[in-house]
Chain A
Amino acid sequence: MTSRALLSWSTAVLSVLLLTACEEEKKPYAWQLPPGFPEPFVPADNPMSEEKVELGRHLFYDERLSGNGTMSCASCHEQQRAFSDAKATPSGSTGHAVPRNSPGLANVAYLATYTWANPVLDTLEKQALVPLFAETPLELGMGTRLAEVLQRLREDARYKELFQAAFPEDKDPIHEDNVVKALASFQRTMISGNSPYDRYLQGDSTALSAAARRGMELFFGERAECYHCHSGPHQTNSFRSKDTKLSERDFQNTGLYNVDGLGAYPVNNTGLFEFTNNPKDMGRFRVPPLRNVSLTAPYMHDGSIATLEEVLDFYMAGGREVTSGPHAGDGRTNPLKNPLVRPFELDAQERADLIAFLESLTDMDFVNDPRLSNPFEE
């Protein structure tokens, strides 16, 4: 063997070794997914890592992230309530009234779009900018005092470490882009897949009570007709995983309001119409997923229905008649309502069964998962 050949041979071996070393460093993030859960979609510029998730968890629970240091994401997204807040509508850090209900966050990684009706917020990264930076309504109010918020984080040695570990290639990693990336990464780990219903789907035929099984038949049946919109593994037709090829943009008007007889919703909550200005998009909102729904009361985009029982009343009536006040009008005759929302009857037993099914979507492991808990209370 000539020395040149030897050289190129050893170079080849060396480069293989180097490549292997790199590949080991970039080993894929170890999702801990329940059986039947596909890998979530993750944007190419924000791959998952344990370190980002840990940083995101700290940021999620940190009140220093709000402009005036009074609120964190967790203020409106409490783990014990499946990351909702039991309020009809919350207030922002400076007291601004936020017009829409804080949604639960179970399995948000799988939604195709974010927030109640925005059609273009298609990643958790884009969504995070809304509560962090929006001024009307002002939620966390980080935007108006950005330098100050980042300075607070820089002064904390714990964050120096967490940011460096999460973004090792970034010389000065404490900036808003990385805050957003870490928050999104943490939220992608909010996976809820161990409710009695999940265990039933996984093959445990004893996981559901007889009532819940009867309720499931109603949920997936043509009379109650829940499943046309609350379809798919998380009971919403808004779904995207890593392997999803075709996007779907499905927003629904369910006849909650009809303030002008022509289908109008209250002006601060017009749904998809706010973004498209298309008259037929009035009152159309994204279908919320239903995992842990018994923990996320009150319901609807504006929290205007207090209990699951009343949600059933609402759907059985094919919409809602608001009889007094500024939003009076008969939503049942809203011309823009999805026709699948139409009156149907359930007897008392059937109502109880349907509620039992909705309660079987509650995953107590999720609300008690220490990996999703407040790291400042550890």
Chain B
Amino acid sequence: MKLLKRPLPALFLLSALPLLQACGGDGSAEKKFSVRFSPQVGTQPLSCSASYPNIGKTGTTIELLEFKMYVRDVTLVRANGEKHALKLDQDGTWQRDAIALLDFEDGTGTCDTGSPETRMEVVGRAPDFNDYTGLEFKVGLPEEQNHLDGATAPAPLNSPGMWWSWKGGYKFVRLDVRSTKNATWFFHLGASGCTGSTAEGYTCASTNQSTVALSGFDPEANQVVLDLAALYADSDLDHSVDFKTDNIAGCMSSLSDPECAALFSQVGLTAEGSPREVPASFIRVR
């Protein structure tokens, strides 16, 4: 009987919760936040049915073929620096644990390898403060979850086309475009130089882990821009592959791939795959 009496104060608190929530903004309750992503070329929205001129060092014209990416540990930062990781909705398709898949193509137009579904946001709960001014997230998957079985792993880790192999792991970013000279110009960001086996596990020379930190980000008002014009600014999307120093038009993340360095810098990686500051160009706040 003693035990029965104890929960009563807690019950009172619970009934008072709606009142507290009504006040809002002081962090005593949780609130649903949507961190929105805006794929763009310059200031134009990115679409599967448009051409975008003046891209990269040669001013080529690009069309989108495919664009998906994994992000994780999406965290809101208060004005005082306090960080609150979003507790992601576990929706069974796009989000699991702290990992979210974003899908920026709708399978129409030039994006004919893709799925009709799109996903432009990360949705989760965080304490309800009204002074969130920053955003942090990591790109891709952590090494310990990067060598799962892409067939049996739970969604969103079973997206076909985002998985290379047990050894290679997942594509953290898959961005394929057509340029004037190249039918496909790839940017597949992932770990590289991996060795091992399913039985013994894998280790990778470059795990290519990067963290994006954005200031001036109010989740209610702002979006995360992913600007392809800025991403490709220092790349030549029209170069022809010589099949000696370079096998593929674009970057497949291997250390010897001459086209990776210019792209890596835009996602916060040195040419060797170590973290560095992310410039406010490809990924920035709008």
Chain A contact residues, CB within 8 Å of chain B:
36-38, 110, 112, 200-205, 220, 222-223, 225, 227-228, 231-233, 237-241, 243-250, 278, 281, 335-340, 342-344
Contact = CB atoms under 8 A, between A and B. Distances in A.
Interface string B215-228: 00000000000000
Given A220-B168, A232-B151, A344-B247, 18 more contacts: A36-B151, A110-B151, A203-B198, A222-B257, A232-B160, A237-B160, A237-B161, A243-B154, A244-B155, A245-B158, A246-B115, A246-B159, A248-B115, A337-B183, A339-B241, A342-B241, A343-B243, A344-B243
Interface in B244-268: 247-249, 252, 254, 257
Contacts of A339: 182-184, 241, 248-249
Interface of B: 92-93, 103, 107, 112-115, 117, 149-152, 154-156, 158-161, 163-168, 182-184, 197-200, 241, 243, 247-249, 252, 254, 257
Given A220-B167, A227-B165, A249-B107, A38 B199 contact: no
Nearest to B257: A222
A220 B166 CA distance: 9
B247 A249 contact: no
Contacts of B254: 222
A37 B149 CA distance: 9
Interface of A is mostly: loop
A112 B183 contact: no
Given A201-B166, A248-B114, A342-B247, A243 B155 contact: yes
Contacts of A202: 198
A198 B252 CA distance: 27
Contacts of B257: 222
B111 to A, nearest CB: 10
Contact of B151 (A241, A281, A338): A241
A239 B164 contact: no
Closest 4 CB pairs of A and B: A203-B199, A248-B160, A233-B151, A246-B115
A232 B150 contact: yes
Contact of A239 (B151, B183, B241): B151
A231 B154 CA distance: 18
B150 A246 contact: no
6 contacts: A37-B151, A205-B200, A246-B156, A335-B183, A339-B182, A342-B241
A220 B165 contact: yes
Nearest to B92: A245
A102 B149 CA distance: 29
Contacts of B200: 205
A244 B92 CA distance: 10
Nearest to A216: B167
Contacts of A237: 160-161
Contacts of A225: 247-248
B151 A248 contact: no
A241 B247 contact: no
Contacts of B115: 246-249
A233 B243 contact: no
A249 B151 contact: no
Contact of A245 (B114, B159, B168): B159
A245 B113 contact: no
